[in-house]
Amino acid sequence: MTDGAFIVGAFEHPARRAPDKSVAELHVESALGALADAGLGIEDVDGYFWSGMMPGLGIVSLIDYMNLRVRHVDSTDVGGASPLVHVKHAVEAIAAGKCNVALITLAGRPRSEGQATGTAPRQGNSLQPDSPWEAPFGPVTANVYGMCAMRHMYEFGTTAEQLAWVKVAASHHAQYNEQAALRDVVSVEDVLASPVVSDPLHRLDCCVITDGGGALVVARPEIAAELDRPLIRPIGMGEAVMGQDGGNIDLTVSAGSRSAPIAFDAAGVDRKDIKYASIYDSFTITVVIELEDLGFCEKGMGGRFVADGNLISGIGKLPWNTDGGGLCNNHPANRGGMTKIIEAVRQLRGEAHPAVQVANCDLALAHGTGGLMGSRHSAATLILERQ
């Protein structure tokens, strides 16, 4: 399967606030941007991959809106990890002969719609099996992640200062990104001085809320070879879901502990071979737990791993989220998986900002989560190689 396709187009929508655009427009503009980047047109697309919240038939409506002529569709929705899962599914679909050129889009406008992301109760569905048991207690995104952070501190001695280093690293990178929502460089002291949102998480421990979107184009090798673009090949792909396990849950472990081994085994590479990592950063604690579960450090050592600038490009041992990530740059549609792939592609192409570009970057990792870590959630891991 991993010989079957290449990522040939990538585009991040420049908007961070788009009150004058519909979600459909953001999808279309992102799609056209990625296709232009690849040197292809709408007429070349015969596979479409999408997930998200849209009234009605969703993917069918968007296919009609974009006037696509497709023979394969995939609306798998596992939250923020969906775009990474879609890359995996696109590679598999192309290898199986279901399509030749796959378009993957993500878009949303939570900022313009005034969503209190992370601090407002999620809209429950009475048909969901968990709703009757959890909804009465009012779980929201921020307090579930705060619970994970508190448990990690209790188990392993992780400190708020260590968590703050994740934000510091993101801000060091975001200063070079003209489109980033937050470009000011912050210190550990700045993070700790920001208001507590859900103990022990401060406001600066939380991701930004943005409109916008992004898109990717995945193509069959014969088509990719004809395009004047660097060839980025997924060589390892893993997806996983983790739930409550009948109450036997470890708040310090994520589904990445299951998706990462699949991806690394398929790629046949080691963690030390990874030159750059795009890792989902809805909160600072998300990154700490994921780094452990991805195998970059031992369980419980994530706080120490991120301290003292170890995630800052050119300084630390693992350059990470060099666009500023969800903590500073962009978290479109409240789903950060798309931007993780896009920045990994930029790094592998040598198209990241010169101040944060990783030298000789030929192997990168992109990882995403969806849902609520500490509750039921998804994970997807991609290992990408520059051909």
Nearest Cα to Cα of residue 48 among 189, 35, 294, 38:
35
Tokens of 364: 């990168």
Cα(17)–Cα(28) distance, integer angstroms: 16
Domain boundaries, the chain: 6-113+208-386
Cα(261)–Cα(265) distance, integer angstroms: 6
- The CATH superfamily label for domain 6-113+208-386 reads Thiolase/Chalcone synthase (3.40.47.10)
pLDDT at 244: 85
**Which pLDDT band, with edges at 50, 70 and 90, does 375 fall under?**
confident
pLDDT at 121: 61
SS in 3 state form for 179-202?
A: CCCCCCCCCHHHHHHCCEEECCEE
pLDDT at 171: 98
CB–CB of 377/255 below 8 Å?
yes
Residues of the chain above pLDDT 90, percent: 85
CB–CB of 26/234 below 8 Å?
no
DSSP state of 358: P
Nearest Cα to Cα of residue 74 among 40, 107, 98, 108:
98
Region 188-203 average pLDDT: 97
| pLDDT over 60 (residue 151) | yes
pLDDT at 248: 85
**pLDDT one-digit tens code per residue, 159-195:** 999 999 999 999 999 999 999 999 999 999 999 999 9
Of 8-12, 19-23, 124-128, 205-209, minimum mean pLDDT range: 124-128
| pLDDT over 70 (residue 124) | no
Angstrom distances, CA of residue 342 to CA of 105, 307, 360? 12, 26, 18
pLDDT at 189: 98
Residues of the chain above pLDDT 70, percent: 95
**Element holding 293 (H helix, E strand):** helix 284-293
Of 119-128, 285-294, 300-309, minimum mean pLDDT range: 119-128
Cα(161)–Cα(140) distance, integer angstroms: 24
What b/e sequence results for 80-97 when a residue is b if at least 16 CB atoms lie within 10 Å of its CB, and e otherwise?
A: bbbbbbbbbbbbbbbeee
How far is the first Cα of the chain from the last one, in angstroms, to the nearest whole number? 16
Cα(383)–Cα(274) distance, integer angstroms: 9
3-class SS of residue 350: coil
